[in-house]
Structure 1
Amino acid sequence: MIETERSKRWADLLRKEEEAFKKASNDSKEFGPARRELLAREWFEALAMVLTEYFRSLGQPGKGVPLYPFPGAAIGRAAGLAEHFAAGRIPLIVQDINAGGHPSRSPPERRDIATALSYIEHARAARISDRSFIKSVTEAFEVDRSTVRDWEKNRGEIFRGLTITPVEKFPSALRTAGARYKTNRETRPP
């Protein structure tokens, strides 16, 4: 019973990845940049789910290892992307992801910024004794006040799937997140 459910779930993941790829790779001019970006992101998300699930199945002895069928088409598509990158070319499907201007924040970046916003929230509620809490955040993250305002304005997007950092984790959580944020920003390509 469990193996049948697992097989159905696997088949569903493979089907969704293939459908998402077909939609995203459609070079039809009927879609605007925002729609193409959404479709490309949906495909990358589906591809990540397939590859992650297959990789996990390799390390689960006794659970139908590895999953069947082999995700050859998905791996082939991922390999195609790698070939483009190795040749110094950016495939159209990747170009579509950043069609709207600047890229979305990465999950680690969102987590660090959420820590900063948690600190601000706790300080405003007087759960942290820091009358210069904005300055504390700007110094820890080496950003200006307008950046912090932008984070506050985009709080919903930043906290998507995350929870507020507990007050007892501060101030060390702020220092750690700030240091990680600065390091990641310094190593990010221009």
Structure 2
Amino acid sequence: MQSLYIIASVLAVVAGQEYDIHPQMLEERYPEWYVSSEYAHPRHQRDVSVDKNTGDLTLDHKTSPDGRVFGTIGSRDEALFGKAGYQHNVFNDHRGKLDATAYGSRVLSPYGDSSHQGGRLDYKNNHAAGSLDVSRQIGGHTAVDAAAGGSWPIGRNGDFTMQGTYSRFGPIQDYGARAGLNYRW
């Protein structure tokens, strides 16, 4: 009985070694210029991108776009990808500027496919800024990134800035803060 285990083990090891050698034998059958990337011609990038303004927003008798559609379809090495989104200007006036963005992406690869979707809000005025980004990989965790900060003038040439950040990916959370005093001589 013990000899059957030894024979089975030897066969498994020999089969495993044969499997490891097999790809090397395939490479030896092809000429060097075909296998080596040193001799291969680089493939030209074949990405197709779109970035188009949409809609009109009228401010002070001036018309400007209030949204934009963006996207890219392309490939990298063995993967195909597509990403697209829409950004909309909610307001841009004395209150500041608020932009909302919705986006998504899809990647097809021999190593696995993935889909990703999310949304983002960005606010900015003369003395404050903030952002919130919530995204999720389909079948995965939700990610949240938030940041807010302010700037207050000190005299004619200086300002005090303060910023706080929050980040979460699944169960992992991270907090941060930064403050600074800027003075221009």
**TM-score (normalised: structure 1):** 0.22
Relative contact order higher in (CA < 8 Å, ≥ 6 apart): 1
Q: In proportion to residue count, which structure has more strand?
A: 2
Q: In proportion to residue count, which structure has more helix?
A: 1
**TM-score (normalised: structure 2):** 0.22
